[in-house]
Structure 1
Amino acid sequence: MSLPPGFLDELRNRVSISSIVGRKVIWDMRKSNQAKGDFWAPCPFHQEKTASFHVDDRKGFYYCFGCHAKGDALTFLRESENMSFMEAVELMAREAGLPMPERDPRAAEKADRLSELAEVTEAAVRFFRMQLNTSAAAGARDYLKGRALAQSALDRFEIGFAPDARQALWSALTGAGIAGDKIIEAGLCAKPDDGSAPYDRMRGRIIYPIRDGRGRCIGFGGRALSATARAKYLNSPETPLFDKGRALYNLGPARSACGKGQPLIVAEGYMDVIALVEAGFEGAVAPLGTAITEDQLRLMWRVAPEPIIALDGDTAGLRAGFRLIDLALPLLGPEQSLRFCLLPEKMDPDDILRQGGPAAMGKLIEEAVPLVQLLWRRETEGQVFDSPERRAALDKRLRMALSKIADPGLRGHYTDEIKRLRAEFLRPPARGFTPRGARNAAPVKPLTATRSTRLASAPDDAIAEAMREELIVATLICHPALLPEFEGDLERLTCRDPALSQLCAALLAGDRPDGAQADALLSLPHVAIAPPVRGADPDLARLCLRDEFAKHFARGGVEAELREVVEDLDDLADESVTYRLARATAARNESERSRLSDSTDLGEDRAALSNELQRLIESEIWVKRKK
């Protein structure tokens, strides 16, 4: 609807911004100057204790020096109450006593008719509320008590009771002077085809009033108390007021809560919403007994950019989430998506809150997964992809799903994420020794103690080389008879740890190291489990020492050769550089060939490591040349 020129200015002139904002804040009177229209208060849009929120009544604007929120009275209503623009205009117009501009006569007539029907449904709300306190509603009260609903919750959600009588509501409303045709048009009663007296649609049920975003009662939901009822839940029929595919239970209060920073949580039913709200999750809504429709999805996005769909933890709940994916994909955009809160099996939000309280539910909401992960789960769960054909079919299904996303940028990000998930899912197992008969065994997860070791956390080769030095010294401490054979090698050993150097000096001096330093060395995990340290076989210890000394000196030689080549690069011909690097690499490869094992796998691993070293050397030379 278009507004005539000057209408909004007249609204702003008639309604002061301080009167609008003052309902949400407490003015700091020490800082404010009412005479000059200058007001200060703590900001209602973010948590603070100081008065950094400024309202200028003369100019009609507000500004927060903390979060930088700013605007006029209409903006404040929209932001603080999560209203639409026209709803804010209508509210200010009522306060100003200004009639809204004339509309099309037929539209005005329709609006008047809807207002009359809303008055009928409000009368029905009052009737159902009173019936909950009668003796006929004892079973309903017992049910609600069993669901742990306090009186405050019953009042907040206006829960009532429809007596199990054919014309209880009809008699009450007609007796109050309400026309019968309006009662029928509002969906409260139905007229039989045989022309007999109309009858109540809701009978013997607990009643949940359904309100739209403006707070009007547009329909009702009813839960049967009898186990023999044809339908456990029954909604009002489609009426000029009520379209269940375009409405959400608890929409108005949830919109206000989301405007204050709460997440929008979409649960399955009335009791789930009530339980969530009572637990502090006030941004909870529910579709009305059907799968979420496109109109409801768009309505959610008007409230919050990323609603959280809380699925019941059963097969039906998961299927509902899978169906919602196909509905949402064509509508997704950079600023509107979905997350999914996957509840434990056979549990709903009410069950979670009963067993674990708000903290348990809050944790599940924080762990809600993005839509792309549920899409991946839908296409892969319970399937085996052990052939090229099955993997190709998976790729085809994923391509078809992603092609539905209209926004090209978002589609590209979805494609990248699906590629990442696919690579992780289809990645072959890590190469290594597998015991005979254990090919199909579940992969063994690394222990926490293993992940925290020095070698696992090492950023480069430095830690591994330091561990080699520790093993050499520990072996000589445990096998002092081998010291004369390796005395020359020990003199050349370059230790990174000063404490280890002191132990080497003691060994060369002919003393057997003992005390705290030696004990600390021998207690290191990688030393304590090493065979040459634990065992008494001098031949094994001799073989290990030769191997470790050779690796140590070869690695040191490569590092020294690299330093010299880089330093002398400007004076060397390319052939000389190549020769020296090749010689150093060959020496290092020879030393890495363990005397303890000549297995093909280890040889391939060492060759890969040597190639990596060669690339490192060449990159160092290239950097030097660039300089």
Structure 2
Amino acid sequence: MSLPPGFLDELRSRTSLTQVVGRKVIWDSRKSNQAKGDMWAPCPFHHEKTASFHVDDRKGFYYCFGCQAKGDAIGFVKETENVSFIEAVEILAREAGMEIPKQDPRAQQKADRRGQLVEVMEQAVQFFRLQLRTAAGAEARDYLTRRGLTAAALERWEIGLAPPGWQNLWDHLRDKGVEDELIAAAGLAKPSNKGGKPYDTFRNRIMFPIRDARGRAIAFGGRALDPTDNAKYLNSPETELFDKGRSLFNHGPARTAAGKGQPLVVAEGYMDVIALAEAGFEAAVAPLGTAITETQLQLLWRISDEPVIALDGDKAGLGAAMRLIDLALPLLEAGKSLRFALMPEGQDPDDLLRAEGAGAVQAVLDQAQPMVRLLWQRETEGRDFDSPERKAALDKTLRERIKAIRDPSIRSHYGQAIKDLRWELFRPKKQPPQGGGTWRAQPWRGGKAVPLPPSASAKSSLLVAAGEEAETHMREAVILATAIAAPELIGEFEHRIEAMACADRDHALLRDVILRHADAAPGELKAAIAAVAGPEALENLYRLRHVAISPCVRKPGETDLARMTLAEELAKLEARRGLYAEVAEAVEELTGMADEAMTWRLGQAAEARSRSYRIEMEGGSESVLAENGLALDKSDVEYRDKVFDKIDFTRGGRSRG
């Protein structure tokens, strides 16, 4: 069975030799460099202890310095699986998702035809280059000079000119004996609607040859010299040689440069790639004027594990980046991702190079963002999340985006990264109380909360009742221990746990770690706490008597019990916090003679106090139900009594000290 060379080339480009060989060998981590596709292992073809078997993933070949075995992915499968050439091709084709062409007795004829088309394209390259040197090319040469291209650059990139006129290239190729059908099949001419001679596809344009990874001319890109032309840039039509969704401009040279350690930079157009390469960024490619396709993305990952997408700094450039994110998410693999470098607004890489030089471009590339941050930016930029409904909508959207990731490990890491970004956006910017130096954890900074300095105000002396801090500390400890025992409930109570003031710095740190690892299993959560707060943090928490006797700690896995405990303890904390806030506000306003409204307000508060106390005594329970529906226990009532006892209503509401 004969296979067209084009099919085998495509199969080799889609196949990672490292993955194929990796199923049969154990890589030597000391000698191998996975980022460069330079891998070493003991040879699978002869017995040895040293790593003399070398795989060059970018070139797609292996070689053993011991037994001299060599070949490509097809040859490796053929030798290791003991199968025929066709069977090896079938195995790799199934893995690459390619359908093997049906047997064609004229396959050799097709191969010969492709060779003929390549020859026609090379003749066209030489014709266009010659035209640029003629008097008719003066305008094009002036334009290229203004764009900063030297004579050496014109030679390197084989830039030419398609002169004005309808049949210049057609007549030239016909004079060379090229058949009409081959000229048309190469995409260099189109049939006339008026029945005359075919006319040239490219006219009055600066011409950029497009070569495949093997260096063969397969197409052209043309830049119009006439500013009124309908198409500023025009690519060859798709032909037997050229599939623009499977091709990259500057593919071969960029692959070589990336193999030497240069970062792979993906720009939008020919001039961007040329300008980047001339400035030293030689591993630069472009997707030929279209949105990057899945095949092109796989080609990029064959060249580099983490290409940098350098897009124009405008709305269209940002839109292209967002579309690429949706394409890339389902295809992500461990070690394979994208970074995005957005040029300054209104500039492309070529503009920035000419305006500020290579250093400015390097600075932009150095600040390239990982894909997860651009995904977050797309879903949050320019939007307000001032209501629970809007926050929930954001959570739902992000969950749907992350679900597209097929790799479970990457999906998990994306979820954690999104949680971290969400934390930064929604974390309350708390302020310290006006006295006492109470600890309030600030937004996350490298795993540590940062204390705020105490205020000099003495007003808080009225707000600190006997036993308050100990009571609050106890409830917080139970809540934290319960959350650690049942992390699957953290999401359900996330906002309420986040609102805990945590006067104790250890509690504040535990709260932050718990919220940032809400999706972890109990064992993983404890490991994260130990890594950030130290192993003594959990020991100190569980040493507390009220934590040790908590049913949720003694009976881990009781989800319903843990849910009830969290709901009750959080409700009590919230009720106390609301009580203290109301009393503090009332005391704050008692700085002079109380008016009628203030007297009424205090009277109502005193009546509520009495009613709560009366319900407690009559019910024989340790807790009473306040009008706001939250549980207030006996200590809350006692605290309120003590504060009200300090107020002398006969002296205009002033405190008695």
Amino acid in structure 2 at the alignment position of 1:123: Q
Task: Give the aligned partner of residue 618 of structure 2.
Answer: none
SS of structure 2 residue aligned to 1:383: coil
Distance apart, 1:299 and its partner CA = 1.4
State the match for 1:202 in structure 2.
Answer: 202
Aligned-pair CA distance for 1:176: 0.9
Instruction: Find the counterpart in structure 2 of residue 348 from structure 1.
Output: 348
| Pairing of 1:73-92 with structure 2 (within 5 A) | 78=60
Q: CA deviation at 1:105?
A: 3.6
CA distance, structure 2, for counterparts of residue 246 and residue 617 of structure 1: 55
Match of 1:242 in 2: 242
User: Judging changes above 3 Å, is the alpha-carbon distance between structure 1 residues 606 and 164 closer, same or farther for their aligned structure 2 residues?
Assistant: closer
Q: How many equivalent residue pairs?
A: 410
Tell me, in whole angstroms, the C-alpha distance in 1 between the residues paired with 2:58 and 2:379.
45
How many Å separate the matches in 2 of 1:334 and 1:173?
50
Alignment of 1:158-307 (within 5 A): 158-307=158-307
Displacement of 1:303: 1.3
1:441-496 CA distance string (max 9 Å, x none): xxxx99xxxx9xxxxx99999xx9xxx9xxxxxxxxxxxxxxxxxxxxxxxxxxxx
Q: CA deviation at 1:361?
A: 1.3
Shift of 1:73: 9.1
CA contact (8 A) 1:174 1:180 kept: yes
Rounded Cα–Cα distance in structure 2 between residues aligned with 1:199 and 1:610: 80
Structure 1 residue aligned with 2:540: 619
Between the aligned partners of 1:397 and 1:620, the Cα distance in structure 2 is 37
Indicate if the aligned counterparts of 2:2 and 2:105 stay in contact, CA closer than 8 A: no
C-alpha distance in 2, partners of 1:180/1:261?
Answer: 45
Report the equivalent of 1:599.
none
Q: Distance in 2 between matches of 1:209 and 1:420?
A: 46
Question: Offset of 1:258 from its aligned partner?
Answer: 1.2
In the TM superposition, what is the alpha-carbon distance from 1:87 to its structure 2 partner?
Answer: 10
| Cα distance in 2 for residues equivalent to 1:45 and 1:305 | 12
Separation (CA, whole Å) in 2 of partners of 1:137 and 1:313:
32
User: Retained in 2: the 8 A contact 1:205–1:224?
Assistant: yes
* Aligned residue type for 1:619: N
Paired residue secondary structure (1:144): helix
Q: Is the partner of 1:182 in helix, strand or coil?
A: helix
- Partner residue of 2:525? none
Distance apart, 1:85 and its partner CA: 6.4
C-alpha distance after superposition, 1:299-319 (max 9, x if no partner): 111211211110100000000
Q: In structure 2, what is the Cα distance between the partners aligned to 1:186 and 1:622?
A: 80
Whether 1:339 and 2:260 are equivalent positions in the alignment is no
Which amino acid in structure 2 is aligned with residue 139 of structure 1? E
CA distance in 2, matches of 1:294, 1:216: 23
**Partner Cα distance (1:381, 1:210) in 2:** 38
- Name the CA distance, whole Å, in 2 between partners of 1:242 and 1:621: 68
1:356 Cα deviation from its structure 2 partner: 2.5
1:388 aligned partner, one-letter code: P
Q: Which amino acid aligns with 1:177?
A: G
- Give matches, 1:125-136, under 5 Å: 125-136=125-136
- Report the Cα distance in structure 2 between the residues aligned to 1:611 and 1:196, rounded to whole angstroms: 86
Q: CA deviation at 1:335?
A: 2.7
On the 8 A contact 1:80/1:259 being kept in 2, the answer is: no
Q: 1:191 to 1:431 in 2, by over 3 A?
A: same
* Residues 130, 160 of structure 1: 8 Å contact kept: yes
Q: Quote how far apart the aligned CAs of 1:194 are.
A: 3.2
Question: In 2, Cα distance between the equivalents of 1:227 and 1:617?
Answer: 71
Between the aligned residues of both structures, percent identity stands at: 53
Q: Residue by residue, what CA displacement relative to the aligned partner does 1:234-262 show, whole Å, maximum 9, x if unpaired?
A: 11011111111111100010111111111
Letter in 2 for 1:274: I
Say whether residues 1:114 and 2:119 are aligned partners: no
Tell me the CA shift for residue 108 of structure 1: 2.4
Q: Is the 8 A contact 1:129 1:160 kept in 2?
A: yes
Following superposition, the deviation at residue 272 of structure 1 comes to 0.3
Which residue of 2 is the match for residue 403 of structure 1? Answer: 403
The aligned residue for residue 412 of structure 1 is: 412
- Contact persistence 1:372–1:418 (CA under 8 A): yes
1:412 CA displacement: 0.8
- For the structure 1 residues 608 and 199, does the alpha-carbon distance in structure 2 shift closer, same or farther, using more than 3 Å as the test? same
Name the counterpart of 2:320.
Answer: 320
**AA paired with 1:391?**
K
**Matched ranges for 1:44-63 at <5 A:** none
Q: Does structure 2 conserve the Cα–Cα contact (< 8 Å) formed by 1:266 and 1:286?
A: yes
2-structure distance, mates of 1:246, 1:125: 21
Determine the C-alpha separation between the residues in 1 that align with 2:160 and 2:281: 23
Counting only pairs closer than 5 Å after superposition, residues 219-618 of structure 1 correspond to structure 2 as 219-432=219-432, 608=504
**Aligned-partner SS, 1:312:** strand
Q: CA RMSD in A?
A: 4.7
Mapped partners of 2:542, 2:198: distance in 1: 95
Note the residue ranges of structure 2 that are not aligned, 5 or more in a row: 4-30, 35-39, 64-69, 76-85, 90-102, 435-441, 462-469, 474-499, 510-535, 545-657
Secondary structure of 2:207 counterpart: strand
Distance 1:458 1:420, change over 3 A: closer
Contact preservation (8 Å) 1:74, 1:85: no
Structure number, greater radius of gyration:
1
State the secondary structure of the residue aligned to 1:113.
helix
Change (3 A) 1:619 1:85: same
C-alpha deviation, 1:175, in angstroms? 0.5
Post-superposition offset of 1:195: 2.3
Contact 1:74–1:88, Cα closer than 8 Å, also in 2: no
Cα distance in 2 for residues equivalent to 1:165 and 1:406:
53
Structure 1 residues 616 and 149, CA, compared in 2 at 3 Å: closer, same or farther? closer
Shift of 1:2: 11
1:74: how far off? 7.5
**Cα distance, 1:352 vs structure 2:** 1.8
* Structure 1: segments with no counterpart, 5+ residues: 4-42, 47-53, 90-99, 435-444, 452-456, 469-529, 532-539, 548-581, 586-603
User: What residue is the counterpart of 1:496 in the other structure?
Assistant: none
1:389 Cα shift? 1.4
Structure 1 residues 141 and 607, CA, compared in 2 at 3 Å: closer, same or farther? closer
Whether contact under 8 Å (1:266, 1:309) holds in the other structure is: yes
1:286-337 per-residue CA deviation (whole Å, 9 max, x = no partner) reads 0111111111111111211211110100000000101111111111111321
C-alpha displacement of 1:72: 5.4
d(CA) in 1 for partners of 2:201, 2:244: 16
- For the 8 Å contact 1:80–1:256, the answer to whether it is kept is no
DSSP-derived class of the 1:208 partner: strand
Structure 2 counterpart of 1:150: 150
1:79 and 1:259 in contact (8 A); partners too: no
Assess if the C-alpha contact under 8 Å between 2:342 and 2:364 holds in 1.
yes
Deviation at 1:395, TM superposition (A): 1.1
Residues 424-452 of structure 1: per-residue CA shift (max 9 Å, x gap): 11112222589xxxxxxxxxx99xxxx9x
Shift of the 2–326 alpha-carbon distance from structure 1 to 2, 3 Å rule, reads: same
Code of the residue aligned with 2:244 in structure 1: it is: K
Q: Distance in 2 between matches of 1:221 and 1:199?
A: 17
Q: Is the alpha carbon distance of 1:172 and 1:80 closer, same or farther for their aligned partners in structure 2, counting shifts above 3 Å?
A: farther
- Aligned to 1:290, what secondary structure does the other structure show? coil
In 2, are the aligned partners of 1:80 and 1:260 still within 8 Å (CA)?
no
> Which letter does structure 2 place at the counterpart of 1:172?
H
- Partner in structure 1 of residue 124 of structure 2: 124
- Alpha-carbon displacement from aligned partner over 1:354-396 (angstroms, at most 9, x marks no partner): 2222222112112111111110000001111111111111111
8 Å contact from structure 1 (residues 214, 252) kept in 2: yes
- Cα distance in 2 between the residues matched to 1:204 and 1:184: 19
**Offset from partner CA, 1:512-567 (integer Å, 9 cap, x none):** xxxxxxxxxxxxxxxxxx99xxxxxxxx9xx9xxx9xxxxxxxxxxxxxxxxxxxx
CA–CA separation in structure 1 for the residues paired with 2:123 and 2:135: 21
- Kept in 1: contact 2:449–2:508 (CA 8 A): no
Q: 1:78 to 1:605 in 2, by over 3 A?
A: closer
